[in-house]
Amino acid sequence: MGDIKKRWYVVRAVSGKEKKVKEYLDLEISRLKLDDFVSQVLIPTEKVFQIRNGKKVSKERAYLPGYVLIEATLAGEVTHVIKSIPNVIGFLGTEKGGEPVPMRLSEVNRILGKVDELSETEEEMKIPFVIGESVKVIDGPFNNFSGVIDEINEEKKKLKVMVKIFGRKNLLELSYMQVEKEV
């Protein structure tokens, strides 16, 4: 039974319900003893950083919202079991009533590689600031002050921002997380 060829499929789920779909799938797979047919259920996620109450918070969010990856052999009842899970819309790439289309290996590797890369470089933040751009300070003693970027230090992830305080211009050194672009 162990030599069944498994392929990757994309299951469409209601956006925001991916975790529930994964939980239900895992429960149903173990309840119906389909472990031989389904080996992995994955939600591609990425780490996102936000500032909440002056603290840098790391949050994980779906990298492909509305999609759950599943490595399985769609034999017998497996397709029906997956489609009958609450919040599952169906398989990606199927014609109405047609057979689910497996992903190409290159696509799988690209997505799985991207997920691994995102988890490895969790501290890597690409925030494209430009010299001369207006920013608003959102953290620290100069909270709510606005200024213009004078200098960018990519390695330290710091900005030098020219801020007008009491009518005089002052140069502040702030981290990327302490400012946001002004709209």
Six token digits for residue 105: 């290996």
Q: Which one-letter amino acid corresponds to residue 112?
A: L
Question: Does residue 41 have a pLDDT over 50?
Answer: yes
The enclosing domain of 44 has a CATH number of 3.30.70.940
Same structural domain, 79 and 39? yes
Same structural domain, 111 and 140? no
Q: Which of 18-27, 55-64, 151-160 is least confident?
A: 55-64
163 lies in which domain range? Answer: 134-181
Q: Using one digit for the tens of pLDDT, what is the confidence trace for 91-105?
A: 887 677 677 888 888
Same structural domain, 32 and 106? yes
Between residues 59 and 84, which one has the greater pLDDT?
Answer: 84
Which of 97, 120, 143 lies at the terminal end of a domain, its last residue?
A: 120
Same structural domain, 99 and 172? no
Determine the pLDDT at residue 97.
Answer: 66
Between residues 64 and 150, which one has the greater pLDDT?
Answer: 150
**DSSP code string of 118-157:** HHHTTT-------TT-EEEE-SSTTTT-EEEEEEEETTTT
Same structural domain, 78 and 151? no
Q: Is the dihedral of CA 116, 121, 123, 128 positive or negative?
A: negative
